Amino acid sequence: MCGIVGYIGKREAYPILIKGLHRLEYRGYDSAGVAIISKEMRLNVLKAQGKVSDLENAAQGKDTCGSLGIAHTRWATHGIPSQVNAHPHLSQSGEITLVHNGIIENYATLRAQLLSKGYTFKSQTDTEVLVQLIEYIQKKHHINLTTAVRIALNKVIGAYAIVVIDSKEPDLLVVARKSSPLVIGVGEGNNEFFVGSDASPIAEYTKKMIYLKDDEVAELTRGEEVKITTLNNDKVDICIQNVEMDLGQLDKSGYAHFMLKEIFDQPDCITDCMRGRLLLEYKKIVLSAITDYRDRLLSAKRFIIVSCGTSWHAGLIGKQLIEEFCRIPVHVEYASEFRYRNPVIFSNDVVIAISQSGETADTLAAIELAKKHGAMVFGVVNAVGSSIARNTDTGIYTHVGPEIGVASTKAFTGQVTVLTLLASALAKEMNRIDDEYFTSIINELSAIPDKMRLVLQKNDEIEVLSKIFTYAHNFLYLGRGWNYPVALEGALKLKEISYIHAEGYPAAEMKHGPIALVDSEMPVVFIAPHHELYKKIISNMQEVKARNGNIIAIVTEGDTEVKQIAKTVIEIPNTLPCLTPLLTSIPLQLLAYHVAVQKGLNVDQPRNLAKSVTVE
Ligand code: F6R
C-alpha cells in the first residue's frame, strides 16, 4: 500500500527520496511523486502514474535540488490511479504540500465546506482536502504550519500518516499519525532527519528510530531536537529505539524475484525463527512470552486467533496445533469480520493476532476490540517494532526478516513454526502432551530446515510442470486435516500472482459442490502426505480421477499408492503429520511462482495488491 519517505538535512534530498521509494516498491502502488523545497524557497512537485522509474524519467532535466523533501508511492483508494491523483498534493496557493497514507473518512463534508470558502480541487482524492484544510486554517488564523496541522487534524475522522512541508518555513518538516504507521529516523547531531512509512527506506542512514504513536505530531527542524506533541499540544516524551535491519534482505541477491529468493530463504529463516527458542540439546522450548505470562496463558479457557489472508491460513493450522496439543478450544476469525460482528469475548480469553507486516488495519482494530473486553492479546508478528507488535501485551516475533514479495511465503512458514513452538511449549507447561511426542516434535522441528532444502531441490521439476498449466483458467486445491489450510494457501498463492482462478477446499467437502467443476481440463492439486487422513484422501482422489481430473499430488517420499492415481506427484521428505504444512506449502509456492513467471507477470508486485494493507 502507499509508502512515505521524507528528508530534512544538509544532503540533497532527491536521491534519498528516490532510493527510499524504490525500497518501498514492494508494498504495491500505482503512481509516485516527490516534492522538494529549493534553497531559494521554491517548492517543486513532480508526479507520475506508474512506477518510480517513470517518476525518475519525468524528473529528467527538472529542478530537483534542495535538502528538504517528501515523496510517496500511492495505492489508489479515492480516485483512479493517475498523475493528478498521485501525491504530494498542493494547497491552493502552492505553498504547502503533503503526502498521506490512510483514509480521511469525512473528506466529503470537509470538501463541501472548503468549496463554500472558495477552494477548488484538482484531484479526486481525500488527501487534497486535507492540504487545503491546513492552508485554510493557517491563513484564517495567521498561524504557523504545525499549529495549522494540529487544528486541521482535530477536524479529521479517519486514518492518516502525513508529512507536510511549507515553502514559507523551509527548515521544517511536520509529521503526524493516527492508525497508520510512521517512523522517524534521527541522523547525526540533529542535523538531519528521515521519515518512512516503515523503517526500510531509512534504515541505511540511521539505526536511531522513533515510532510515532497515534494522535502525535512531530516537528523536525534542521539543527534542533525532535519535538513531539499530542493533537492537544501536550508535550510527549521521546523514545528513541535502536532498530537493526539486515539490508541484505532488501535486495534480490541474484534471484530473479524477491518471491523466489524468499521461498529459497525459508530453511535459514526457520532456523532463525527457532534460534534460542528450540533447545535441541536440552529437549526444551523456551519462549519468554510464556515465562512472563505463564499464569495468564495457562488459565485461558479459550484462544481466539484474528488475522487476514495468508496469516489467517497460518491461524487455521495454529488452531489445530493448540487444540491437538493443549486441548483448549480455539476460534479462528477473519479480523475484518470479527471487528464488526459484536463477538463474544471473555476477559479470560487469549486473542492471538497474527501478522507479517504488523500494520494490517483490520487486525489492529480486532486487537483494540479484544482489549476493550479485557482479553489478553498475544502477537505473532514479523515486522519488529510494528504497530501490532507494540499494541499487543506480549508475543513472539517470527524473525524471518523483511518480506518484500507481495505474496507471502517465508512469513507463512515462520508463523506456522512459531505457532508450533507456542502450542508445544504451552502443552508442556499444562502437562497435556506426553514426553515422547514432545521430544519427537522437537527433533523433527529441528530437522525441518534441512528437509525444506530437499523440497527446494524440486524447483526445476516444478518449473517444467508449471509450463503445462500456464493456460489453465481454474485450479482446485484439496487437502485434509493439517493440510486443508495448505490447500487454501496454495490456491491463494496461485490466484494472487498468476491471476488464475483457484479454490482451496477440504477434500471431502468437494462432493458437496466443487466436484461439478471437475473435467479433463481441471487441474486438481491434492496435498496428500502421509498423515492420519491419508487413506481418506486417496478415496477423494479416486473420485476426481473418475471424472478425468488432472491430478497433481504432493506426497511423502516413497509413496506408491498415489502414484497409481495422480498424473504428477511431487515428493516431500517424511515428517510428523503436524509438521507437514511446513514442507507441503513449498511446492505450492514454487508452482504459483513458475506459472506466474511463465505468464510474464509481475510476480513481486501483482496487480491491485498491496504488501501492507493499512486501510480497512
Ligand atoms: C497473501 C498475503 C496477504 C496477507 C494479508 C495479511 O500472500 O500476503 O493475504 O497475508 O494481507 O497481512 P499481514 O500478515 O501483514 O497482516
Catalytic residue among 451, 458, 495, 611: 611
Q: CB–CB of 572/557 below 8 Å?
A: yes
**Smallest CA separation from ligand 1 atom 5, residue:** 309
Q: pLDDT value at position 616? A: 77
Instruction: Please determine whether the domains at 251-455 and 457-604 fall in the same fold group of CATH.
Output: yes
φ/ψ of residue 224, rounded to 5: -125, 165
Q: pLDDT value at position 192? A: 94
pTM: 0.80
Cis peptide bond N-terminal to 88, omega within 30: yes
Q: How far apart are CA 68 and CA 41, in angstroms?
A: 10
**Smallest CA separation from ligand 1 atom 8, residue:** 408
489 phi-psi bin (left φ>0, alpha ψ -120 to 50, beta other): alpha
Q: How far apart are CA 500 and CA 99, in angstroms?
A: 35
Dihedral Cα 422, 428, 434, 437, nearest 10 deg: 30
Is there a catalytic annotation at residue 2? yes
Q: Residue ranges of the domains in the chain? A: 2-245, 251-455, 457-604
Mean pLDDT (10-residue bins), the chain, 616 residues = 92 97 84 94 94 95 95 88 94 97 91 96 94 97 97 94 96 93 88 92 93 94 93 93 76 88 95 93 94 94 97 98 97 96 95 95 96 97 88 94 92 98 97 96 98 97 94 94 97 96 94 89 94 89 92 96 95 98 98 97 86 76
Q: pLDDT value at position 207? A: 92
Tell me the three state secondary structure of residue 199: coil
Q: How far apart are CA 438 and CA 518, in angstroms?
A: 41
* Cell 492439486 sits on residue: 525
Query: Atom of ligand 1 at shortest distance to CA of 360?
Result: 16
Query: Atom of ligand 1 at shortest distance to CA of 406?
Result: 8
Q: Into which CATH architecture does domain 2-245 fall?
A: 4-Layer Sandwich (3.60)
User: For residue 358, which of 605, 614, 163 has the smallest C-alpha distance?
Assistant: 614
Q: How far is the CA of 381 from the centre of ligand 1 (A)?
A: 11
Q: How far is the CA of 311 from the centre of ligand 1 (A)?
A: 6
Q: How far is the CA of 473 from the centre of ligand 1 (A)?
A: 24
Q: 202: which DSSP letter?
A: T
Q: Determine whether 282 is exposed, middle or buried from the number of CB atoms within 10 Å of its CB (0-12, 13-18, 19+).
A: exposed
Q: pLDDT value at position 164? A: 98
Q: How far is the CA of 490 from the centre of ligand 1 (A)?
A: 14
Q: How far apart are CA 83 and CA 79, in angstroms?
A: 11
Which CATH number describes the domain made up of 251-455?
Answer: 3.40.50.10490
Q: At what angle do helices 410-429 and 435-456 cross, to 10 degrees?
A: 170
Q: 40: which DSSP letter?
A: T
Best residue among 357, 382, 498 to mutate for probing ligand 1, ranked by most atoms within 8 Å of CB = 357
| Homologous superfamily assigned to 457-604 | Glucose-6-phosphate isomerase like protein; domain 1 (3.40.50.10490)
Query: Atom of ligand 1 at shortest distance to CA of 415?
Result: 14
Instruction: Report the pocket of ligand 1 as residue ranges, CB < 6 Å.
Output: 308-311, 355-357, 360, 363, 407-408, 492, 496, 613
Q: What are 80's three cell numbers?
A: 483512479
Q: How far is the CA of 371 from the centre of ligand 1 (A)?
A: 22
Is there a catalytic annotation at residue 611? yes
Q: CB–CB of 44/36 below 8 Å?
A: yes
User: For residue 159, which of 113, 214, 86, 200 has the smallest C-alpha distance?
Assistant: 214
